[in-house]
A and B are shown apart, each in its own frame.
Chain A
Amino acid sequence: MIPLTYFLILSAILFVLGAIAFFIKKDLITQFMSVEIMFNAANLAFLTFAKSTGSLDGQIIVFFVITVAAAEAAVGLAIILLLYRQKKTIKTEDIQSMKG
């Protein structure tokens, strides 16, 4: 029997690693991947709480998060592809046309 706190701590670590990757990485695709890692950490926390309260609602929420993440990935990658066609780059340093 694994203590559920371990799962929560793992979820926190994964979320923070995703946040670090988002800050450090300089290309849009990898930043997008780190957002997916943060989604996964949140899902892990949802499932842990679903198990601790003994209800299935947490699992349903995770199901919805996964479907919405799929839709989000499709649209986001389409936008990245479009940006690459127009600017020939996906580095965040080179995309500054909205910088104040």
Chain B
Amino acid sequence: MAQFLFFLLATICIGAVLGMIISKDQAYNALFLIVAFVCTGGLFGLLDAPFIAAVQIIIYAGAIMILFIFVVMMINLRKGLEPEKKKWTLYFAVIVAAVLVLELVLTLKGALEPAGSSTVAELGSPTDLGRLLFTKYLYPFEITSILIIAALVGAIVLVKKRDKA
């Protein structure tokens, strides 16, 4: 059952990303990406990380993609989308991708050997994660909150229309 779920989610995820590569419309690209992120959330759930799966769906598929769709809505480029010229970048990208996927698979194949797969993992429940977050990772947590405040203020200041006066 879990194996079937994995292959289903993986297929939908890769298909959605391929759809994003093929499609030319940015709004459709954003929708494809939402599908891909929801599937990744399901995969996170399969990896015994229910809290991270929920965060993935709420923040990625929810908040971040809504931000993208808002920007696509503000920048209306529907008229100016001519077909993309196939240039050397395409061939370059395919070559780089082939090399990269070969390299990654070769590296990752041996990566799990020393640890051995599936020790008795503790379940990533929100309680355990929260306890760890407020003890061992307290300083990174606080620094992240400062980072988010800075990003928020920075984004508002950047986009704000300045008065001409």
| Chain A complexes with chain B | yes
Alpha-carbon distance A90/B132, docked complex (angstroms): 42
Alpha-carbon distance A2/B63, docked complex (angstroms): 30
Alpha-carbon distance A91/B10, docked complex (angstroms): 31
- Interface class of chain A by DSSP: helix
Identify which of B64, B104, B118, B156 contacts A52 (C-beta below 8 A): B118
B67 touches A21 (CB 8 A): no
A1 touches B29 (CB 8 A): no
A36 touches B60 (CB 8 A): yes
Contacts of B74 in A (CB 8 A): 81, 84
Alpha-carbon distance A70/B58, docked complex (angstroms): 11
Q: What size tier do the contact residues of chain B reach? A: 35 or more
The residue among B30, B52, B96 with the most chain A CB atoms within 10 A of its own CB is B52
Q: What size tier do the contact residues of chain A reach? A: 35 or more
Alpha-carbon distance A70/B30, docked complex (angstroms): 15
B112 touches A71 (CB 8 A): no
Contacts of A6 in B (CB 8 A): 6, 10
Contacts of A51 in B (CB 8 A): 47-49, 118, 121
Identify which of A3, A20, A29, A73 contacts B64 (C-beta below 8 A): A73
Contacts of A80 in B (CB 8 A): 71, 75
